[in-house]
Structure 1
Amino acid sequence: MNPDDWHLTEDLDDFLARAGDFLHSRPALHTIPLTVTEALRTRGADAYGTEAPIFGRLERAGEVRATFFRTPPRRLNLTPLAPEEADTLAAHLSGLGCPLPGVSADHDTATAFAEAWQRHTGAMPTLHVRQRLYRLGTLTPPRPFPEGRGRVAGQKDREQLMLWYREFAAAIGSVTSANAGSWADTRIADRRLTFWETLDGTPVSMAGVTPMVAGQIRVTPVYTPAHLRGRGYAGAATAEVSLAALTAGAAEVLLFADLANPTSNGLYQRMGYRPVADFTVYDF
């Protein structure tokens, strides 16, 4: 294939005008680009940092076949590619001198691109994490269900949210937002974070959701401080936001789980979440 089939831009509106229908065609597999571009569209560069994002689409005969985006300093994110398509993109980006800290995609695509990037640049890929994407079928609240209640986080919870956001990001090795306060403020304003709290009103776990885009809502983040784990709090919080997403009219409720954590994978499956695809993240 021709490297010129890849079209790069920093213009989000142009990217969505040309690739939006493609992204909406498979909402589950495209959940990351759908939610990230929606955040950029509604909140601008502050959503993910100050550097200009870059977007790309693979187009042949007037039809978009794949896309990518990167919000520096984060990794490249890809929709599914054939090995030859991954190789052509790696050659194209390396030829432009684009620095990449890593790649995130479905397992086959991420592996093909990581291998191609090594061939073209010499950069050695290392596995960061393997994840499974799940889609909710019939919601079954976990049993036993812990005592307590769900509560949507409000302005009084801002400091707590900022602290737990930083702890969550550190736990998964993620690049945090430049402004944790802005992260918390947006989710408080949109009522997108829920605490599970004990009967005395102490928050013990949190679960959030993305805005609905293309009929899908993704549960993220789910976090319980280490000293409070193993008591069912995360499952209760996840059940709360999953039910709220269904009530809001989501056709698909999604979440990712780290494949290295059998406890969370087992919990989500008992709650009615079913596997969609495996994703892999490599660092370069």
Structure 2
Amino acid sequence: MRPGQWHLTEDLDGFLDQAGDFLQSRPVLHTIPLTVTESLRKRGVAAYGAEAPILGWLERGGEVRAALFRTPPRRLVLTPLTTEEADALAAHLAGLDYLLPGVNADHDTATAFAEAWQRHVDATPLLHERQRLYRLGALTSPEPLPDGQGRVAGEPDREQLMCWYHEFVDSIGGVASSDASSWADTRIAHGRIRLWQTPDGTPVSMAGATPMVAGQIRVAPVYTPAHLRRRGYAGAATVDVSRAALAAGAAEVLLFADLANPTSNGLYQRIGYRPVTDFALYDFSYGGPEAG
């Protein structure tokens, strides 16, 4: 079967007109493109940096079969592709002289694209992280629950959130989606960060949530400072924000966990999250010693 035709654009509205229904048809697997394109729509493309995002969809037989996006300088994000489709996309992007920093997709798609990119561009793929996507089943509070309570982060927490945002991005080796002040202000304004605090009112952990799109909310980020870990704070914060997502009417509550961290994966399953599928994040190395 022919892999179909890819259409690329920088026009968000045009992309959503073509691929929006496809993305919403599988909101769990498409959680990343759904939440990022919703953020682009609300905040404006310019909020993501000077370089315009790249958006695209695969059309075959008059139907959209897959989609992609990239918000520079971050990795290319793909919805599930066959090996043939991944190879055709890599050839197409290579022909347009794209220089991609990496790819993020379900494990099979990411691996197929990384191998195809190596063939077409002579780039060395380096596995950065393996993640597992979870969806919430029956929410269960961890036992014992640490002393304290959850609450919505407010303006007095702004400096704390900015600090923790920097620490979180550094801890995962990630690229900040915005400056820390804008990140904190947006989440405070919309009540999208919940803090777990000790009985004396000291915040010890945070758990955020994406806006609801197509009935799904994704929990992100979950962060506890290193010196406060292994006390149950992350589990308490995650349950608190998950409960708030359900109360807001989410049909699906999702989260990603780094598979290299058995502690967090075990925790999420104990509080009711169930595996959906695995994702892989690859970085691409060009022409350096690693590529030899």
Q: TM-score, normalised on structure 1?
A: 0.98
**Displaced runs of 4+ in structure 1, greater than 4 A?**
1-4
Alignment match, 2:121: 121
CA distance in 2, matches of 1:18, 1:195: 39
Alignment match, 2:102: 102
User: How far did residue 84 of structure 1 move?
Assistant: 0.4
Q: Percent identity?
A: 76
User: How far did residue 45 of structure 1 move?
Assistant: 2.4
Unmatched 5+ stretches in structure 2? 285-292
Letter in 1 for 2:142: P
User: How far did residue 46 of structure 1 move?
Assistant: 4.6
Deviations 1:62-103 (A, max 9, x none): 100000000000000000000000000000001100110000
- Aligned partners of 1:45 and 1:51 also within 8 Å: no
- Aligned partners of 1:132 and 1:259 also within 8 Å: yes
User: How far did residue 4 of structure 1 move?
Assistant: 6.9
CA distance in 2, matches of 1:91, 1:46: 29
Q: Quote the RMSD (CA, aligned, Å).
A: 1.1
CA distance in 2, matches of 1:157, 1:46: 27
- Aligned partners of 1:39 and 1:47 also within 8 Å: no
CA distance in 1, matches of 2:34, 2:102: 20
Deviations 1:84-134 (A, max 9, x none): 000000000011001100000000000000000000011000010000000
User: How far did residue 151 of structure 1 move?
Assistant: 1.2
CA distance in 1, matches of 2:184, 2:50: 18
Query: Given the alignment of the two structures, is residue 232 of structure 1 paired with residue 236 of structure 2, yes or no?
Result: no
CA distance in 1, matches of 2:172, 2:47: 19
- Aligned partners of 1:245 and 1:253 also within 8 Å: yes
Unmatched 5+ stretches in structure 1? none
Alignment CA distance shift 1:255-1:214 (3 Å)? same
Alignment match, 2:287: none
Alignment match, 2:290: none
User: How far did residue 3 of structure 1 move?
Assistant: 7.5
CA distance in 2, matches of 1:188, 1:250: 20
- Aligned partners of 2:141 and 2:239 also within 8 Å: yes
Q: TM-score, normalised on structure 2?
A: 0.95
- Aligned partners of 1:145 and 1:236 also within 8 Å: yes
User: How far did residue 167 of structure 1 move?
Assistant: 0.4
Letter in 2 for 1:168: F
CA distance in 2, matches of 1:257, 1:25: 24
